[in-house]
Amino acid sequence: MHSARSALAAALIASPALAQTASFEVTGSAPGGFNQSQAWGVSRDGSQVIGWTSAEVDGQVGTYGFRVTNGTPEILTDIFSRDVFATSGDGGVIVGMAFLERPDDPGNADLTGWFWTKDGGVLDLFARIPNDFSVAWDASDDGSRIVGMTNFFRDFGIGLSFSDAAVWDIQGNEQILPHLPGFDRAEATSVSADGAVVAGYEETDSERVAAIWQFDDGTFVTELPTPPGSLGSDLAMAISDNGRFVAGFSLQEFNGPLDFREDLVIWDRQNGTAQVVATTPDGFLGAVPSFISDDGSVVVGTWNTSVFFDIPEGEAFIWAAGDGIAQSLGDFLLVEHGLEIPEWELRTAKDATPDGNVIVGHALNIDRSTMFGYRVEIGSTCPADLDGDGDTDADDFFTYLDFFAQGDPRADIDGDGDRDADDFFGYLDLFGQGCP
């Protein structure tokens, strides 16, 4: 979740001369891994991609936590047989869900949220009541607040169900978030960078509404405005770093349990507005966002073919206010950047860096034999802006000097495979031109 007028928003209106900056790479597998991995989170600086991979470690075959740092893959062996969903800004906290035997109820297992820290390993977040489950969906930038759901219970036979939105601190202490009046089921899906604002939803048997929880001299819950055309089911799935904008979806067409359409919505909390910004294309059930920028100008997510909105899969998409359209990530890379990826189908987009420059998810190769996490780097439409803040200043100049002195490939301005005076003076020219 993340940024101010992002590099991605600018990239969507890139000129052809600057359109070759995007790159695509699959994360692959670590030693011992098989041809299966998924990427679910990325650190703020884009250097770490986290997710899971199938692997055999010391004779133990299963899924493991997986991290790729500056292209180097690593299996996190203490994250075993667990779904990985998100990471904190520095990659030091990872959160998710697993099917675990309860220590207070031997022989019985529940779906259970958990989080991992590099110093403390895994801490399980069991629901307080046996046969209920929990899940951890997101973490604040410093990892001090982890959000999700707990105490989920459903009995279709007697029509009883309930759940609580929850926040945990890094010691695992749990805070149940308050419900809207008349609502008995809630889930927190996303949290702002500073942990002060949490997004999610509240529901009853007949209604589902997007909700926000705030921590300000207490804990408060408010309902977000109903989007135009809503049929009574609205969810908030991603919140901007600054907590102002929220992205989610709204049920706009319903013809039966497997025949419906949920369209992309942006809420502006400052102005109190809700806007349906893109219609979900034919062949997909809904648009499930995973990232929105600080100015609300860019959304990244997945057009979903699964009935499960919380673990969507289908096709990665991008929406940008400048164009006012949503397009598949694959089309965006081809049309706007000339980057063709013929061997891979981009099935999800799960996270992005604060500047919108790096997007991660998972891709399936065209012969359906391999699924890997991927990392897309959009690149900047302002080549001299090396820190991605939308301007050129001394920080960019000294960053280039560091690249040049270290022999970093990013110092190769003319693309000849070497770093020399031509590159140095080439960067000075770009620096003098500034950003558009």
Residues 159 and 235 in one domain: yes
Contacts of 398 by beta carbon, 8 Å cutoff, 6+ apart = none
Same domain for 307 and 423, yes or no, is: no
How far apart, in whole angstroms, are the C-alpha atoms of residue 226 and residue 229? Answer: 9
- pLDDT for the residue 32: 72
Q: Across the beta sheet with 93-101, what order do the strands follow?
A: 83-87, 93-101, 109-117, 121-125
The reply to whether 113 and 220 lie within a common domain is yes
Q: Is residue 118 part of a domain?
A: yes
User: For residue 93, what pLDDT is reported?
Assistant: 97
Q: Quick one: pLDDT at residue 160?
A: 63
Q: Do the domain assignments include residue 2? A: no
Residues 22 and 120 in one domain: yes
Radius of gyration of the chain (CA): 22
Based on the structure, what is the number of domains in the chain?
A: 2
**210 domain residue, yes or no:** yes
Residues 425 and 315 in one domain: no
pLDDT at site 151: 93
pLDDT confidence of residue 415: 65
Residue 398's domain spans which residues? 385-436
Q: How many CB atoms neighbour CB 421 within 10 A?
A: 7
Residue 272 in domain: yes
The predicted structure's pLDDT at residue 170? 95
Indicate whether 310 and 403 sit together in one domain.
Answer: no
Cross-strand pairs, 99: 111
303-333 pLDDT tens trace: 999 988 999 999 999 998 877 789 999 999 9
Report mean pLDDT in 10-residue bins for the chain, 436 residues. Answer: 37 34 84 85 95 92 93 93 96 96 84 94 89 93 97 70 94 96 96 97 95 90 98 98 97 93 97 97 97 94 94 95 87 88 96 91 93 88 69 86 81 77 88 79
Between CA 122 and CA 129, with CA 128 as vertex, the angle to 5 degrees is 125
- For the chain, report the end-to-end CA distance as a whole number of angstroms: 26
Confidence (pLDDT) at 360: 97
pLDDT digit string, tens, across residues 4-40: 233 344 333 333 333 346 899 998 877 777 789 999 9
Please tell me whether residues 313 and 405 are part of one structural domain: no
Same domain, 424 and 282: no
Integer Cα distance of 336 and 164 in angstroms: 43
CA-nearest of 297, 292, 298, 287 to 348 is: 287
Same domain? For 391 and 408 the reply is yes
Quick check: is 337 in a domain? yes
1 in any annotated domain: no
In this predicted structure, what is the pLDDT of residue 275? 97
| Token pair 């604040």 in the structure block, residue | 140
Position 6 scores a pLDDT of: 38
